[in-house]
Amino acid sequence: MTTGSGIFYDGVTSARHEVAVELGGDDVRISAAQGGTLARWRFADIAPLATPQGVLRIGPAHGKADARLEIHDAALAAALLQRTGQYDRTGLTGHRTRIKVVAWSIAAIVTLVGGAIWGVPLLADRLAPHLPIALETRLGNAVDTQIRETLNTSNGSRPFECGTGDSPAAAAGQAAFAQLVANLEGLAGLPLPLQVSVVRNAQVNAITIPGGRIYVFEGLLAKANSVDEVAGVIGHEMGHVAHRDGTKSVLEGASLSLLFGMLLGDFTGGGGVVVAARTVLRSTYSREAEAAADDFGANLVARAGGNPHALGAFLVRIAGKQTSGPHLLLDHPEAAQRAVAIDRIAKPSPHKELLTPAQWSALKTICSG
């Protein structure tokens, strides 16, 4: 029997106990100074712990509590190590600690990445349909301010929105555009009123902003061969409004920064609204959202009496024509695949003119006035 003294911590409290240590045949017995056994560990179950120079610190390898025993007596420490078969204890717990740190670090990274990939999109998807219209409109107004600053390159020489001038051409173009939008909106059954404008920008694009604002770019009108193609694009964007895709997208893109702004009622502070505006300009909707908007737009044009297949033909024609900047096909499914899907879902309808030839001609030149 080898005996000595040590310092014992039970792992439950921070109390420091001076104890008697006895090394038996196959275990170590730790007793209080006043008598009574505090712990009894089998040598096979003991693990050396990281310790300062000249101190042996041990504990149970699989104990529920972080109990430990410190031995400052070199002879007793050597005898105990010989019984346990541990001769080189340096770095053992340090190695295990590093493994734990790395494991917890990886777990934290996975949690953060998982939250960004699945948590925020899920939150945005659940929150957007229940966002009050008034709050969505305020969000849209804040995002719109940023978008206008990005898209408006006229330096004040011409209005950002086309059809706002006093010329007869501007008035005729705006009247034709307003009639087309009104016909489609009257059939769409949207959850909020729309503000649809043609804007001076050469990109082949149309975008939807939270709050029911839609911008049709001048470059898109220039590429369109018929009013049905323009109607299909506007109907597609109305589909995004109906499904509140713009709100989902900006909530997902700006994530926590924008959510905190919503809670505080301030969308202009911080960088969340800037990120939201960039998200809208990138048109980064999922393929499922784009397919649903195609379905909505094609069927809406069919109900209005136009050609529901025009949207698909337009997408195929403009595919690959623009190599930089946001445009209608950015991050969208392949144009040919979308056209096939539109042909499959669009219902035949008695074709009628959505605008007269004169109105269509006026709409094409709405930005010239």
For this structure, is 237 an active site residue? yes
Alpha-carbon torsion (145, 146, 151, 152), positive or negative: positive
> Cα 181 to the chain's mean position, in Å?
32
Q: How many CA atoms lie within 13 A of 78 on its CB side?
A: 3
Q: Are 342 and 308 in contact (CB under 8 A)?
A: yes
Q: Are 216 and 328 in contact (CB under 8 A)?
A: no
C-alpha 123/C-alpha 118 separation (Å) is: 9
Longest dimension (CA), the chain: 111
C-alpha 136/C-alpha 143 separation (Å) is: 10
Q: How many CA atoms lie within 13 A of 204 on its CB side?
A: 19
Point out the catalytic residue in the list 70, 136, 237, 252: 237
Architecture of domain 2-89: Roll (2.30)
Name residue 209's beta-bridge partners.
213
Question: Which one, of 94, 84, 88, lies nearest residue 46 by Cα?
Answer: 84
DSSP line for 54-66: T-EEEEETT-SS-
Is residue 15 exposed (0-12), middle (13-18) or buried (19+ Cβ within 10 Å)? Answer: exposed
Q: Are 234 and 206 in contact (CB under 8 A)?
A: yes
pLDDT tens over the chain, length 369 residues: 688 999 998 888 878 899 999 998 889 999 998 888 999 998 888 887 766 677 888 888 876 667 889 998 888 888 888 887 765 444 444 455 555 555 545 554 444 444 444 444 555 455 556 566 777 788 778 878 878 888 877 666 788 899 988 888 899 999 999 999 999 999 999 988 999 999 998 889 999 988 899 999 999 999 999 999 999 999 999 999 998 887 777 766 655 455 545 544 555 444 444 555 555 555 567 788 889 999 999 999 999 999 999 999 999 888 765 444 444 554 445 788 888 888 887 776 667 899 999 999 999 999 986
C-alpha 293/C-alpha 339 separation (Å) is: 13
C-alpha 200/C-alpha 219 separation (Å) is: 8
User: Which residues of the chain form CATH 2.30.29.30?
Assistant: 2-89
> Cα 133 to the chain's mean position, in Å?
22
pTM over 0.75: no
C-alpha 35/C-alpha 37 separation (Å) is: 7
